[in-house]
Structures are given as C-alpha cells and as structure tokens.
Amino acid sequence: VSLVVVETADCAGFVRGRILDKVGQHGADTSELFFDDVRVPIDNLLGGVEGQGFGQLMTQLAQERLIIGVTAVATMESAVDETVAYVKSREAFGHTLFDFQNTKFTLAECQTTAHVARVFLDSCIERHLRGELDSTTAAMAKWWLTEQPCQVVDRCVQLFGGYGYMREYPIARMFADSRVQKIYGGSNEIMKDLIARSL
Ligand SMILES: Cc1cc2nc3c(=O)[nH]c(=O)nc-3n(C[C@H](O)[C@H](O)[C@H](O)COP(=O)(O)OP(=O)(O)OC[C@H]3O[C@@H](n4cnc5c(N)ncnc54)[C@H](O)[C@@H]3O)c2cc1C
C-alpha cells in the first residue's frame, strides 16, 4: 500500500458520485468518489518511498481516535449544558422540569458520566502531547468515550420532550450526530479486539 496525492481538478477518470443521505452530521457531506484508470505523477507519492502507506496510516490512528474522543466528550458536556438550561426554563404542573427529582437525578448522572469521560480524555491528551499515547489506550478512549454520548444525549432528549425530536433543537442534532461515532474511526468492536490483543 502506498499513499498518493490525486489532484482532482481536470483529472481524467475521477468522478464524484452522489452525496450520501446520512442519518446525522448533515454539516459534512459524505460522497462517493470514483477513480477509473486515473494516472498521477510519480512525484505525488507521499514520503517518496513505495510501500510505506500502511505504516503511514497506522502512525496517525491513535490521534484520529483521540480526536473522535474529544468530540464525544464535547458533545456530552454541551448536551448537559443545553438540557440544564432548558429544564430550568420549561414549566409543567406548576413547577419547572428541573424541580422534579427524576430530572435532577438524570442530569446528575449525565454530568457525572461527562466528568469521568473528561478526566480520562484529558489523561489521554497529556499522554499524546508527551508522545506516549499507545494504541491500546487510544482504542479504549475511542470505544468508551463514544458509547457514553449515545446514552447521555438520549436521556437529555427525553427531558426535552417533543422538542427533543425536532432538528431545530441542538439536542436532536447531537442525538443523530453521535451515533456514527461508534461506527467510524474503526468500529467499537474492532477497538475491543485491539485492546484484547494486549491482555
Ligand atoms: C459518516 C461516515 C464517515 C466516514 N469517514 C471515513 C473516513 O473519513 N475515512 C475512512 O477511512 N473511513 C470512513 N468511514 C468508514 C468507516 O470507518 C467504516 O464504515 C467503519 O470502519 C466500519 O466498516 P464497514 O462499514 O466496512 O463495516 P463492517 O466492517 O462491515 O462492519 C459491520 C459490523 O461488523 C462488525 N465487525 C466487522 N469486523 C469485525 C471483527 N473482526 N470482529 C467483530 N466485529 C466485527 C463491525 O464492528 C460492525 O458492527 C466513514 C463512515 C461513515 C458512516
């Protein structure tokens, strides 16, 4: 495997297909790309030596997994902030939603999860900055941190009631956007497989 830069402007054989209709992350287009007998100059070989591609990809995987973890934690923190603000403003049966014990307990649990996730994430970032983030820990961060928003945001959606299902509310978009994080960047099952190899 080698990595080659393909300049797509006026490139014979390169065609963009349709933009895929994703469940979430509508702010970022994901499109089919076709490369049919495309020819590129030899100078476009990244790194200048053939056959280095797999290694080049591998060196960036831990960082990619960390970036996904950052998004996961930021989503949870943002979801809790949005929900606290909403439940304190919405009144039902003579109280704000925040006055109900169920609301407080739910948000206390979500905030705890977000905080624990943040502490683990920060530890991974510190390791990364020291150049010491190993692939096993990065895999732990990717799978565990991306599982949490799917539960936290779902519980926050519930506290928004019907508004939580409307895309005009950020919490609904967080709900749709978080799901793919368990799939891409290496699926969470693959992450667990990687961790198990270290045991
Ligand atoms: C919105 C979006 C953006 C993406 N962006 C990128 C990108 O920028 N770059 C990129 O390279 N890829 C990207 N991907 C691809 C993504 O990384 C893959 O979809 C993902 O790795 C899963 O691979 P797959 O779709 O082939 O599923 P499959 O490999 O078919 O997996 C299907 C299911 O089987 C499970 N499975 C597969 N193998 C095993 C195994 N050995 N043990 C246990 N379970 C297993 C998987 O965990 C999953 O649950 C993107 C995908 C999406 C949806």
168 is catalytic: no
Instruction: Output the pLDDT for position 98.
Output: 98
pLDDT > 70 fraction of the chain, expressed in percent and rounded: 100
Q: How far apart are CA 76 and CA 150, in angstroms?
A: 9
If we measure between CA atoms, which residue out of 103, 110, 106 comes closest to residue 73? 110
| Apex 55 CA angle, 4 and 63, nearest 5 | 95
Q: Measured in angstroms, how far is the CA atom of residue 74 from the centroid of ligand 1? A: 23
> Which of 22, 183, 188, 191, when mutated, tests ligand 1's pocket best, judged by the most ligand atoms within 8 Å of its CB?
183
Per-residue pLDDT tens over the stretch 48-62: 999 999 999 998 999
Give one DSSP letter per residue of 52-107, joined into a string.
Answer: -HHHHHHHHHHHHHHHHHHHHHHHHHHHHHHHHHHHHH-EETTEEGGGSHHHHHHH
Instruction: Output the pLDDT for position 76.
Output: 98
Which residues, in sequence order, are bridge partners of residue 4?
A: 45
Confidence grade of residue 19 (pLDDT, cut at 50, 70, 90) = very high
Per-residue pLDDT tens over the stretch 163-199: 999 999 999 999 999 999 999 999 999 999 999 999 9
Per-residue pLDDT tens over the stretch 106-149: 999 999 999 999 999 999 999 999 999 999 999 999 999 999 99
Closest residue CA from atom 20 of ligand 1: 184
Rounded to an integer, the average pLDDT of 23-41 is: 95
Closest residue CA from atom 29 of ligand 1: 187
Closest residue CA from atom 18 of ligand 1: 184
Per-residue pLDDT tens over the stretch 75-93: 999 999 999 999 999 999 9
Q: How far apart are CA 3 and CA 51, in angstroms?
A: 8
Instruction: Output the pLDDT for position 118.
Output: 98
Q: How far apart are CA 62 and CA 127, in angstroms?
A: 11
Average model confidence (pLDDT) across the chain: 97
Q: Which is catalytic among the residues 7, 64, 77, 82? A: 64
Ligand 1 neighbour 91 (Cβ under 6 A): no
Contact 155, 100 (CB under 8 A): no
Confidence grade of residue 22 (pLDDT, cut at 50, 70, 90) = very high
